[in-house]
Structure 1
Amino acid sequence: MSGISAEQVAHLARLARIDLSQSEIASLTIELDQIVDSVAKVIEVATPEVPATSHPIPLENVFREDVVGETLTVEQALSGAPERDGSRFKVSAILGEEQ
């Protein structure tokens, strides 16, 4: 146990201007003590020989080759469009900005 006391928790609550009941102070004393003990255990293990990591296993991006394939012509792409404006799709205004 690291020795977090109820008085320390009450003092921190006053500094933070947090109104805590006696039962909340008792509960937080136990929780903060456990947190400090857990951090101490991590510090014991985190020696200079142990590299810092953010994940337990290494992550790497998997990329594929960017190969240009066959694409549709403008006519093929617009062949099923209900409306078109030259070489573009024509869509209705949706925000009441009819033109």
Structure 2
Amino acid sequence: MNISLENVRHVAKLSRLNLTSGEEELMTEQLNAILHYAEKLNELNTDDVEPTTHVLHVSNVMREDEVRPSLTPEQVMRNAPEEEDGQFKVPAILE
């Protein structure tokens, strides 16, 4: 598969890129080189290779969802810069 100069111009127009004629030619060459390199992958025999979604085996390590002791409201509010009605008071960021 080859990318033509017209293809590069069309994509540049869709992307709203103003390419010079030299840049268009350079992009055409570079895109063709990328496609030719990717075509080499078609030469590989992948008949016995199972499809994968990730190269390495990945599994989630989940802990049991259990009730544990937590801080009391008084302990939490000790770290508050300011407190108002049992809530953190912070500077307003919206008008």
TM-score range, shorter chain: 0.5 to 0.7
Structure of larger gyration radius: 1
Distance change (3 Å), C-alpha of 1:46 and 1:61: farther
Alpha carbons 1:78, 1:84 under 8 Å: kept? no
Q: Give structure 2 stretches of 5+ with no counterpart.
A: none
- 1:21 is displaced (CA, Å) by 2.9
1:52-63 correspondence runs (5 A): 52-63=51-62
Q: Does structure 1 residue 13 correspond to structure 2 residue 12?
A: no
The alignment-based identity, stated in percent, is 26
**Given the two structures, how large is their TM-score scaled by the length of structure 1?**
0.54
**Given the two structures, how large is their TM-score scaled by the length of structure 2?**
0.56
Residue 41 of structure 1 corresponds to 40
Residue 95 of structure 1 corresponds to 92
Whole-Å Cα distance in 2 between the matches of residues 28 and 65 of structure 1?
54
- 1:36 is displaced (CA, Å) by 1.0
Whole-Å Cα distance in 2 between the matches of residues 45 and 63 of structure 1?
38
Q: How many pairs are equivalent? A: 88
Whole-Å Cα distance in 1 between the matches of residues 20 and 77 of structure 2?
72
Distance change (3 Å), C-alpha of 1:35 and 1:53: farther
Residue 28 of structure 1 corresponds to 27
Q: Give structure 1 stretches of 5+ with no counterpart.
A: none
Distance change (3 Å), C-alpha of 1:65 and 1:57: same
Runs of 4 or more consecutive aligned structure 1 residues displaced over 4 Å after TM superposition: 81-84
CA-based RMSD: 3.5
- 1:68 is displaced (CA, Å) by 2.4
